[in-house]
Amino acid sequence: MAPKSLVLASLLIVVVVSARQLPRGAAGLGASPNTNTSFVVSGIVPCATGNSINLATVPSFPNALVQLVCGSNVVGSTTTDSTGAFLFSQSSASRDLVAAILGNLCKVVVATPLGACDKFLAGATGTLSAPLKLLDITTGSGSGSDLGGLFGGIIGLVGQILGGLIGGILNLGTQSFSFV
């Protein structure tokens, strides 16, 4: 197995095992006890239609209502600034919400119609949305390992993931937006 494949396989195993250890709330994402884990989601919303929209080639979408949706639940909302940038942050997220984020069950959805950023897109029917990607886990305990090499890198990565699950900050961004 190639080194990248080994790291990816290890990461997947840790996430799956950790997610199975998290209790599920009976009433939805907010029902389970809060963790010491916080999360931050940031991005820029494009003003365009299509799939895998390239932000470098289209204008941004200022003053748009943006929602963080996990499963079928809206877990947060914010408005983009004048440059189309947005930021969600939450401290002490529930275990179910952390599991949903790490399980790729969350996405960013733009609730404002595209006609608000470009009058020529007023007739477009659909929704801009983008899945999330994990950028970093900040645990405050440092990272890496004294073991060095591939084995040390895997141990460091696993330590960071577990640290993020029991306390830390999950730093997330959006993948490419698509109009669906």
Each residue of 65-114: pLDDT tens digit?
Answer: 999 999 999 999 999 999 999 999 988 788 888 889 889 999 999 999 99
What's the longest Cα–Cα distance across the chain? 58
Query: For residue 24, is pLDDT > 70?
Result: no
CB atoms < 10 A from the CB of 170, how many? 23
Domain segments of the chain as ranges: 3-179
What's the predicted TM-score (pTM) here?
0.69
Q: Please give the residue that has the higher pLDDT: either 167 or 161.
A: 167
Instruction: Report the helix count and the strand count for the chain, using DSSP H and E.
Output: 3, 8
Give the contacts of 84 (CB within 8 A, at least 6 positions apart): 44, 45, 46, 47, 59, 60, 61, 62, 64
Give the contacts of 151 (CB within 8 A, at least 6 positions apart): none
Two tokens at 94? 């529930």
pLDDT in tens, 32-64: 566 778 889 999 999 999 999 999 999 999 999
Give residue 169's pLDDT. Answer: 85
Q: Are 52 and 176 in contact (CB under 8 A)?
A: yes
- The overall average pLDDT reported for the chain is 77
At 1 the three-state DSSP class reads coil
Give residue 164's pLDDT. Answer: 47
Give residue 73's pLDDT. Answer: 93
β-pair type (168-174, 37-44): parallel
pLDDT in tens, 112-139: 999 999 999 999 999 999 999 999 888 7
Query: For residue 156, is pLDDT > 70?
Result: no
Give residue 112's pLDDT. Answer: 94
CATH architecture of 3-179: Sandwich (2.60)
At 39 the three-state DSSP class reads strand
Two tokens at 135? 């950028």
> What's the rounded Cα separation, in Å, for the pair 95 and 112?
30
β-pair type (65-70, 178-179): unpaired
